[in-house]
Structure 1
């Protein structure tokens, strides 16, 4: 693909090629004197192409632009003219802190905690079509954001585990999560039930969960155990292009804290257990297909959340990566 006006294609370490796509496709400024106003104007002029490339390639990386602050990242996102999906409206279980109206910390989990591959909020009825990342401070060691093309993974998984993939498409997945009564910053899934559900009282929490189709059980310590309705495990992004759109790997590997046991976190939508061998293959494939984005300060990564999964490596030192969500979508419940 030729570079867009005023910018050039970049080669990144470990960048991948799948058919006629690059993962991620990357751009940098042609003119080193390009300022923030020029950058915002360039993003606005090319917004349609950038978003289309997010879907086609899975991710677009912007490196070397004068995006020196969280506020400049906010301006870039606004230039894309996508509908903001405020984090407080999400059902995500991660603790996050808002920096601007549109931008929040990617995760407040401690640096030694690894966050495994997932599609953002695929374990809830509401999810963002796009997720955008920005590096404010790169870690001294580690801290890369692994990305994985979920369509490529699913194609390979179908070849190796066809029965498992058929069951995923037929039954979907059901997730169980125990939410604390107050934020637990030591956990990657420590957001309180009040903030997760956007409520203050137990009655309001129960009403929200019933509306969403969840079942639930209050715990003696004030925590709330919630079980989702059957949600899709596979998404057809375009005719014939399917992605492994779920939180299976993250839930199976990483939903572990004082309240949650990964072995109880996820099942097929009909209540039957997952095939552990097939899950191991999915995890193996995600590791093989991972592109690790080694952050540089000022980097921006635009992700189509339906196409690419993301994760987080553990790190040493200070690391500040922030995120923004856009274009809230609603999943259809699985009834088969």
Structure 2
């Protein structure tokens, strides 16, 4: 089995190529490497691509068991997804014509997964790459003015409806219809919340950066651009402004003290993130493992049918 260093002169994911042994060959390789060896390699390389093993939907479970043991539910997630198995989800169901900007999964939450595994069951006919981005490079790419503005943290606001409205319901977001369970989760998350006649309002203040627990690297680690109206695009933003005030949006964001975030800051965060990213162009059967702190990810627009699944772990 070969390991392939992709690219020259710039960071790229570490690729392990199949040698015709199929999925059992990948499982054997992971067993030989062992959990600590895998953890060390992932920390060093930040992303690992497993290609050429022909992993089928029926054979993905033993692979996931080694890459993301103790898989996590997508509780408090804001992306539209479908649960297809035991804590295995569609990667996103956001309309395929749109780019999804760079982000770290659940970086707005009190706790987040440390690893993500993506499995390409079917590649799109055109486009649909998953761009990945070194969070330290993203932080360094931003103007000092932007970094300084976010130094005090970010205030996230969610308005989660009770079954009818814009965005996700609180039941879908927390994967339960038990209000007591939701309140306990939010209490442990050090969030503020308020029940209303139409649903649930959640407010959280989180830092804009974090440090990797092993390497100590400081990375840009938030979803301010995805929660800000300027990140929606002119058309979608205008439609929401026509019917709601910003604080009534399904999700909204300000600086920690409530100061509005200038559109220009959001546009810079989005553009510099996407410009610095490296695309993983999918082939059917590919598996991608990323360190969710060291690397952000996104999605390029696509045409045709694309099915990429994702599983998360804090191991």
Q: Give the TM-score normalised by the residue count of structure 2.
A: 0.84
SS of residue matched to 1:128: coil
Cα shift at 1:111:
2.1
C-alpha RMSD of the superposition: 2.9
Aligned-residue offset at 1:263 = 11
Q: What is the aligned partner in structure 1 of residue 133 from structure 2?
A: 148
Partners of 1:178 and 1:260 within 8 A in 2:
no
Q: Which residue of 2 aligns with 1:233?
A: 208
Q: Please, which runs of 5 or more residues in structure 1 have no aligned partner?
A: 1-5, 329-336
- The answer for the alignment partner of 2:4 in structure 1 is 9
Asked if structure 1 preserves the Cα contact closer than 8 Å seen for 2:104 and 2:296, the reply is: yes
Contact 1:138 1:295 in 2 (8 A): yes
Partner-residue secondary structure (3-state), 2:85:
coil
Partners in 2 of 1:113 and 1:284 — Cα distance? 14
Answering whether residue 148 of structure 2 is matched by residue 166 of structure 1, we say: yes
Among 200, 212, 220, which residue is 1:224 paired with?
Answer: 200
SS at match of 1:196: helix
Deviations 1:210-263 (A, max 9, x none): 44333334555x2433221x1121111156521001112322314968679579
Report the counterpart of residue 209 of structure 1 in structure 2. 186
Which of 56, 61, 71 is equivalent to 1:74? 61
User: Is the CA contact 2:68–2:116 (under 8 Å) kept in the aligned structure 1?
Assistant: no
Counterpart position of 1:120: 105
The answer on 1:200 being equivalent to 2:177 is: yes
Distance 1:260 1:311, change over 3 A: farther
2:160 matched residue in structure 1: 179
Scaled by the length of structure 1, what TM-score is found? 0.79
- Per the alignment, residue 266 of structure 2 pairs with 279
- The correspondence of residues 1-336 of structure 1 with structure 2, limited to 5 A, is 6-9=1-4, 11=6, 15=7, 17-18=9-10, 22-29=11-18, 31-32=19-20, 34-47=21-34, 48-69=36-57, 71-80=58-67, 82-87=69-74, 90-157=75-142, 160-161=143-144, 163-169=145-151, 171-182=152-163, 190-202=167-179, 205-206=182-183, 208-218=185-195, 222-228=198-204, 230-237=205-212, 238=214, 241-252=217-228, 253-254=231-232, 261=246, 265-327=252-314
Asked whether the equivalents of residues 215 and 227 of structure 1 are also in contact (C-alpha less than 8 Å), the reply is yes
CA distance in 2, matches of 1:181, 1:263: 12
Aligned residue pairs total 302
Post-superposition Cα deviations, 1:314-333, rounded to whole Å, max 9, x if no partner, equal 222111000010117xxxxx
Distance in 2 separating the partners of 1:280 and 1:81: 33
Deviation at 1:127, TM superposition (A): 0.6
Q: Return the offset for 1:113.
A: 3.8
Unaligned residue ranges in structure 2 (runs of 5+): none
